[in-house]
Chains A and B, each alone.
Chain A
Amino acid sequence: MLKIRKPQLNLLEKLTNATAVSGDEGAIRKIVRVEVENIADEIKTDAMGNLLVTKRGKGRNRLKIMLAAHMDEIGFMLVNKESDGFFQFAPLGGMDPRQLAGKPVWVGREKVPGVIGAAPIHLVSPGQYNSTIPIASLRIDVGLGKPNVKVGDRATFATKFLRMGDSIRAKALDDRLGVAILIELLKNAPANIDLLAAFTVQEELGLRGAKVAAHALDPDLALAIDSTPALDFPVHDGSENIRYNTKLGAGPAIYTVDGRTLSDPRIIRWLSETGDAKKIPYQYRQPGSGGTDAGSIHISRAGIPTGSVSVPGRYAHSAMGLCRIKDWENTLNLLHAALSDLSPDILKEAR
């Protein structure tokens, strides 16, 4: 079994503190490249910015397995500078406007500090005390003087990685957890397969990078590795929470159905049976909406058998997420064990 120890934690810290809003994933691409360039058989950046890394196995009848983890994170773009120096901004990726006001941000590649400001509560009418502050009323404030900031710059929440006991608090755990897992799988690549690692771009804008990555790699089978919300909160009236999506601490979340993909039943069986056999805890993500890179991958070319596995995480798409280190480790091990046991016969099973 693989372990999450200091080096892995340090790498996730580096990955989550770096900023890579959809469309500007260079910072993560750079970190990943450094991590894997000595072990990769092939490494290239495609036209959209996807980093495609090949690690070949040995022996005959090797399946070509595409593993995708997206490098991009949600964030903002500065869209207009007003005469008083404040910037209007647009969100990139899905966000609840209630999660924005009063947060520190990093602007641009140099991470210029700023804050998301709104009128103080004292100056709004009492009728507005309990309402959402619309994004149109919020501004990014980067201070006085001449900071190196301009329209078109991207911004992220300014959240630093923090270990909290058995948990981690950081921004962009969606999907730096996936990126960290994929790097670890490359470093411990099973020899029975050709591992085609796709560190994808623009997932948060509609699974855009994975589409071309899958077309280029043309794999026999694919998995998207992501982080999915754990909504395992108490219900206001004390009733049973029947819509939790996933539960923190319950292990990797195997996808059956989401808004973009019906996972290949053979893949669901393969992953579940691996978990049962190796005694690695896992859970099924509640069938529902949402989507991962699998949504693009499985309908590429003439179709690719595809599934998704996610690390459960709370508070995705806000300033800071929270995950359990054990869930991360179990996800890594479920994938590693499943890939190590994978036989080409899986494609001969009834779908």
Chain B
Amino acid sequence: MKPLIKKLTETFSPSGYENAIREVITDEIKDFADEIRVDALGNLIARKGSGGKKIMIAAHMDEIGLIVNHVDEKGFARFSPLGTFLPHTLVGARVRFLNGAYGVVGAEYLKKETQTKLAPLDKMFIDTGATSPKDSPVKIGDVAALERPFHDLGKRLIAKSMDNRVSVAVLIETMRKLKTTAHEVYFVFTTQEEVQVRGAITSAFGIAPEIGIAIDICPVGDTPDSAKKEVSLGKGVSIKIKDPLMIADPRIVTWMIKAAEKANIPYQREVSTLGSTDARAIQVAGAGAMVGGISIPCRYVHSPSEMVDYDDVQNTVKLLITLLEKKIEL
């Protein structure tokens, strides 16, 4: 899976501009799906199997990005975020525009008395090497993503957009390995998750599943002086019980935990106080569905370098296959 993760994380596709990643994924899955379609918001929807339960497995394929809102007199590109950025991770970061231009993020506040202050995003800019709007390679409305190569550290992997390309890899791998299923499973690579989970809202309405599972990364609490959180890197698949915007359906949680225990897949129970996922949108779409979430623990979320544990990734695939192969009793 590592080459796949590398390929996915080195593709540039911020929210709303998922063309490139959709093409990569389509290429990877076309031989393993019974049917593939793209909906109005660009969600990539692949069906596998029929009969049994109607299940939607969602992993968002977008990543956080930047959009130019003004090129100033000196050629600096001012920007708005697509998704949430932590300002302290951005200064010095490099970005790549969808039109091929590159740039580095700089910030105002370089006066002595304010050097130690954290500049908010609206005091930052992208330096594309331009000296005026005339020679700027970008203009208002142009979109960029963070630029960072994938690194394989052995057990651990670092890349930009590990959120959520690692889950995309998990879904692709699951589709490949899932020989048969008793169910009508929709693997959905959703769009615009980083901007209020919008792709999941429409894809879930279109599919109207009975069961929904969102696969995403989750922040961890195992780095020095980090937030209090029980989930750690490398300690297994994280089964979502609650996050700030959704409570996982207890029937789904029990089903997942039982399956993990039976198959000896290490898992962690996740009660998250930060962030949410496509799961919420699926849960409340149309007349509603039974929905849960599976998370891959991840460090340095929404920074240019996100880290996951390869065992956790592989275990997530295992758990998904276990869940989807058999008949489901809830």
Contact = CB atoms under 8 A, between A and B. Distances in A.
Instruction: Consider the complex of A and B and state whether they touch directly, i.e. have CB atoms less than 8 Å apart.
Output: yes
Interface of A: 240, 242-244, 256-257, 260, 262-265, 268, 284, 286-288, 298-305, 350-351
A299 B201 contact: yes
Contacts of B38: 351
B17 to A, nearest CB: 7
Nearest to A262: B16
B136 interface: no
Given A301-B202, A302-B202, A303-B203, A257 B16 contact: yes
A303 B40 contact: yes
Contact of A257 (B18, B67, B203, B205): B67
B69 interface: yes
B293 interface: no
Contact of A304 (B15, B40, B73): B40
A256 B39 contact: no
Contacts of B18: 351
B230 to A, nearest CB: 33
Contact of B206 (A287, A288, A303, A305): A303
A257 B70 CA distance: 13
Main SS class of interface, A: loop
B70 A286 contact: yes
Contact of B72 (A240, A256, A257, A299): A240
- For chain B, the bracket of interface size reads 20 to 34
Nearest to B200: A299
Nearest to B73: A240
B69 A287 contact: yes
B19 interface: yes
Given A240-B72, A287-B68, A351-B18, 13 more contacts: A242-B70, A242-B72, A243-B122, A262-B15, A262-B16, A265-B16, A284-B141, A286-B80, A298-B40, A298-B198, A299-B198, A302-B202, A303-B203
A303 B80 contact: no
A302 to B, nearest CB: 3
Contact of A242 (B42, B78, B195): B78
A287 B202 contact: no
B130 to A, nearest CB: 15
24 contacts: A243-B122, A256-B67, A257-B80, A260-B196, A262-B192, A264-B40, A265-B16, A268-B141, A284-B141, A287-B67, A287-B69, A288-B69, A298-B40, A298-B41, A298-B198, A299-B202, A301-B206, A302-B202, A303-B39, A303-B199, A303-B203, A305-B41, A350-B19, A351-B38
